[in-house]
Structure 1
Amino acid sequence: MLKRIKKENMGTSNLGWLESRFHFSFAEYRNPNNIQFGVLRVLNDDIVHPQGGFDTHPHQNMEIISYIVDGEITHKDSMGNSETLKRGEVQYLSAGDGIYHSEYNKSKDKDLRLLQIWILPPKNNLPKLYGSYKFKEEQSENKLLNIVSSKEENASIQIYQDVNFYVSRLKKHKNLEFNIKEKRQIYFVQIEGISTINGLELKESDAMEITKESKIDIKAITSSHFLFIEMKEA
């Protein structure tokens, strides 16, 4: 079953320094019928304007992936980590029993766009994790790149939960297939461009819930940049 979610039907927020599109109930977007999809609890498509950012704040018992679409993000946390990440880089954090961090766009003239993705961990108070990885664009050009997996799998980034993140940059008219294992489901995000998924069109910033399917056929209508998260059925 394919459930297309148009960007116009998502929650939004504009705080001046921050413009957000909420895929699930978050902050001032309250929707009791749209809390999560399996272990995927939060997916925010954020634009942080120059000199804006998230002041120091806590997280606990959540696994957080930040996928940098454009611009630069500067991170600092209570574990002593401090770094700046650019397009193509991915940051991961498993907060365990608690961590504080801040995130800023220190540019004077360029917006930062990122996907902020929160995954529920398999249990509470797991050892804290932090790291980042820079992927080259050619690694995902016209193919699927597994950027995040569980510790039992082999992606460059490994977290505790049983999930797989895939990204691709498909050139116009190229297509890919992905076989879905039994009792697994997918949340698909069209980051840039236009694609069809099993014939259904997704435009930039649209999403799709994919359940009870054995395969997806992804075709790029324009140059297409997308990410999807594969996980156990809810």
Structure 2
Amino acid sequence: MLRKVDSKNMGASDHGWLKSKFHFSFADYYDPNNIQFGALRVINDDLIEPKMGFDMHPHRDMEIISYIVDGELTHRDSMGNQRTLSRGHVQYMSAGTGVQHSEFNLGENILRLLQIWILPDQVGYTPQYGDFKFDWDARTNQWLPLVSGKNGDAPIEINQDANLYAVALDEENEIHFAVNEGRQAYLVQIEGTSNINGIELSDSDGLEIIEEDITIKSATSSHILLIEMKKPE
């Protein structure tokens, strides 16, 4: 089963310094029929103006992943971590029993990132932080594993049976992905346009996939993120 999520119909906010599209209910956007997709609770497509960002604030019991699309993200947290990441890099924070952090764009250009929240498989984990500066070419015309569950082999592991992949397809190229029985996936067309099993996707569109293999054919250069996970029973 496939269902397109058109970016034009997503929740949105504009605070001047921060412009966001919400794939699921978040902040002032609330749709009781669009709370989450399995363990996937949040995908926010954020644009942050230079020298602006989120001041120190708390989280708990959530696996939080940031995928940087453009610009630079500078992270600080109550565990003593301070890092700056750029295009194609990934940041992970397991909020667990509680952590505070800030996220700022200290660069000269607009920062675009995907903020992803995944519900953990249990509450009360010890807070953790990690990041990985993936080489961009490692995702060119092939799936690059970014994040996996505890039994996976991606360089970043989270406390949930979920796997994140990225691919950057050249124009008029194609790639396959199997979503097996008992599994589901959520795909974000970050940049470019593509055709997935006959469904056209453009910049910022989403696609729900349940127990169905897909073939992605790029109409233009396409940058895609896919989150594969266990289907709820």
TM-score by length of structure 1 reads 0.98
Identity of aligned residues (%): 56
Which amino acid is the alignment partner of residue 93 of structure 1?
Answer: M
User: What is the Cα deviation at residue 30 of structure 1?
Assistant: 1.1
User: What is the Cα deviation at residue 212 of structure 1?
Assistant: 3.1
* Pairing 1:222–2:220 present: yes
* Pairing 1:80–2:80 present: yes
Match of 1:96 in 2: 96
Runs of 4+ in structure 1 over 3 Å off: none
Q: Unpaired runs of 5+ in structure 1?
A: none
Query: Take 1:111 and 1:43, find their aligned partners in 2: how far apart are those partners?
Result: 19
Match of 2:190 in 1: 191
Match of 1:210 in 2: 209
Q: Name the SS for the 1:116 alignment partner.
A: strand
Deviations, residues 68-115 of structure 1 (Å, cap 9, x unaligned): 0000011100000011111121000001100000000112x3100000
Match of 2:157 in 1: 158
Which amino acid is the alignment partner of residue 61 of structure 1?
Answer: D
Match of 1:115 in 2: 114
Query: Take 2:186 and 2:137, find their aligned partners in 1: how far apart are those partners?
Result: 23
Q: Name the SS for the 1:58 alignment partner.
A: strand
Match of 1:11 in 2: 11
Q: Name the SS for the 1:138 alignment partner.
A: helix
CA contact (8 A) 2:11 2:24 kept: yes
Q: Unpaired runs of 5+ in structure 2?
A: none
Query: Take 2:95 and 2:24, find their aligned partners in 1: how far apart are those partners?
Result: 20
Which amino acid is the alignment partner of residue 11 of structure 1?
Answer: G
Query: Take 2:194 and 2:134, find their aligned partners in 1: how far apart are those partners?
Result: 22
Query: Take 1:32 and 1:200, find their aligned partners in 2: how far apart are those partners?
Result: 26
Paired residue for 1:231, among 222, 229, 232?
229
Which amino acid is the alignment partner of residue 174 of structure 2?
Answer: N
- Aligned Cα root-mean-square deviation (Å): 0.7
Match of 1:61 in 2: 61
